[in-house]
Amino acid sequence: MTNLHVLVVGGAGYIGSHMVKLLAKSGCKVTTLDNLVGGYRDAVLYGDFVLGDLADKGMLEKLFANNRFDAVMHFASFIQVGESVKDPSMYYFNNVSNTLNLLGTMRHFDVDKFIFSSTAATFGEPKYSPIDEHHPQVPINPYGRSKLFVEQILQDYQHAYGLKSVCLRYFNAAGADPEGELGERHNPETHLIPLILQAASGRRESIAVFGRDYDTPDGTCIRDYIHIADLCQAHWLALKSLLDGQQSQQYNLGNGHGFSVQEVIDSAKRITKREIRVTEAPRRAGDPAILVADSTLAQKQLGWKPCFAELDVILTHAWQWEQQMNHSK
Ligand code: UFG
């Protein structure tokens, strides 16, 4: 697997930057392409960096003409459900149309291996739990639809053009680089764990719990938090599977254990040993009560096994990162 040249689109973002590090540490040559709308140049710790946008077909042509990529990993997308409802056009252009530009350029240059960041949001309201790959995909917002469209496009491209892909449907990506070099830095931040930790470090006054009247043991929503390092390992194994000749595939990625919002707050209190001010807020539109992944298929076919499944470990690494962010602000 050394001497591989991998293009990481969105390599300056949260998940992409951790992936760049894993690829480089594994001996690959890595090129990051990022428009820096949501990412940070200083998060790209390895390889070459190209500033550019997937809407720019000329830039893509040049990039592929100048490099012989063996595979492409695509992390660049908009990810906020609420925003996607308010401005669907933005989501369809960035998440679908721009991905078509990337796939078109890959075809033109005969690059036929693609790893795609998909999401639990492609399933919509859960019909059963945990959610496996047979669960119906009926997304309930433009964000989820934009990702499902690309999944379906990829199936057609495999049949018609032989472009092989793996779609990885993340549940709740969380945590940070165990070595403390990288972490989550969304702006604005909307995700539960960084918000709780910002409340612990004093960067934020409090954390609001969105609803305590769900049909769950403590009334708060349950999610399947998966450590960023485990997520990246799954991408690495997915890439290997394509290189070994496996056909296109889709996998759900989570730990198979759900934790409630209250349990995450309790874990954060244990780890940080700080006061965390909690306020109550109404339910957030579009939040299902429980989202938990069945990742048996990824475990069987890819040989994937999460190493950091414990919530306290996820919080420990995220806290290490939050303290660095707090000091450097
Ligand atoms: N929550 C709060 N307060 C907050 C933020 C979140 O109570 O301030 C709750 C949410 O209601 C939810 C849980 O914490 O129950 C997790 O929320 P996140 O926003 O961290 O994560 P989501 O489950 O909403 O989002 C994840 C991905 C998204 C993706 C979505 C699709 O992070 O990118 O799943 O289901 F769109």
| CB 190 less than 6 A from any atom of ligand 1 | yes
Q: Which of 14, 46, 91, 143 is catalytic?
A: 143
Cα 79–Cα 118–Cα 188 angle in degrees, nearest 5: 15
Does residue 209 sit in the same domain as residue 231?
A: no
CATH code of the domain in which 68 resides: 3.40.50.720
Does residue 25 sit in the same domain as residue 168?
A: yes
pTM for the predicted model, two decimal places: 0.97
* Residue 305 belongs to some domain of the structure: yes
Per the document, the length of the chain is 329
CATH code of the domain in which 204 resides: 3.90.25.10
Q: Average per-residue pLDDT in the chain?
A: 97
SS3 content of the chain, % helix, strand, coil (to 5): 40, 20, 40
Does residue 135 sit in the same domain as residue 276?
A: no
Does residue 9 sit in the same domain as residue 150?
A: yes
- pLDDT per residue as tens digits for the range 30-78: 999 999 999 999 999 999 999 999 999 999 999 999 999 999 999 999 9
Does residue 135 sit in the same domain as residue 215?
A: no
Distance between CA atoms of 205 and 278, rounded to whole angstroms?
Answer: 9
Does residue 300 sit in the same domain as residue 246?
A: no
Atom 11 of ligand 1: nearest residue by CA position: 210
* Residue 121 belongs to some domain of the structure: yes
- Does the pLDDT value for residue 95 go beyond 80? yes
The rounded Å distance from CA 96 to ligand 1 centre is 22
Does residue 125 sit in the same domain as residue 152?
A: yes
Please check whether residue 261 is in contact with residue 192, taking contact to mean a CB–CB distance below 8 angstroms: yes
Six token digits for residue 260: 């409630």
- Does the pLDDT value for residue 120 go beyond 80? yes
Q: Which of 171, 185, 213 is nearest to 326 (CA)?
A: 185
Does residue 94 sit in the same domain as residue 203?
A: no
* Residue 180 belongs to some domain of the structure: no
Does residue 197 sit in the same domain as residue 233?
A: no
pLDDT, residue 325, reads 87
* Residue 153 belongs to some domain of the structure: yes
Active site residue 143: yes
Cross-strand partners of 167: 116, 250
* Residue 43 belongs to some domain of the structure: yes
* Residue 183 belongs to some domain of the structure: no
Domain containing 239 equals 5-174+226-253
Please check whether residue 285 is in contact with residue 82, taking contact to mean a CB–CB distance below 8 angstroms: yes
The rounded Å distance from CA 82 to ligand 1 centre is 11
Q: Is 64 left (phi over 0), alpha (psi -120 to 50) or beta?
A: alpha
- pLDDT per residue as tens digits for the range 103-117: 999 999 999 999 999
Does residue 27 sit in the same domain as residue 93?
A: yes
Of the candidates 234, 253, 272, which is a domain's last residue?
253
Helix axes 142-161, 98-108, angle to 10 degrees: 20
| CB 81 less than 6 A from any atom of ligand 1 | yes
| CB 45 less than 6 A from any atom of ligand 1 | no
Does residue 235 sit in the same domain as residue 101?
A: yes
| CB 260 less than 6 A from any atom of ligand 1 | no
* Residue 181 belongs to some domain of the structure: no
Does residue 128 sit in the same domain as residue 243?
A: yes
User: Once rounded to an integer, what is the mean pLDDT over residues 281-307?
Assistant: 96
How many structural domains are present in the chain?
2
* Residue 184 belongs to some domain of the structure: no
pLDDT, residue 121, reads 97
Q: Which residues of 275-293 are buried (b: 16+ CB within 10 A; e: fewer)?
A: ebeeeeeeeeebebbbbbb
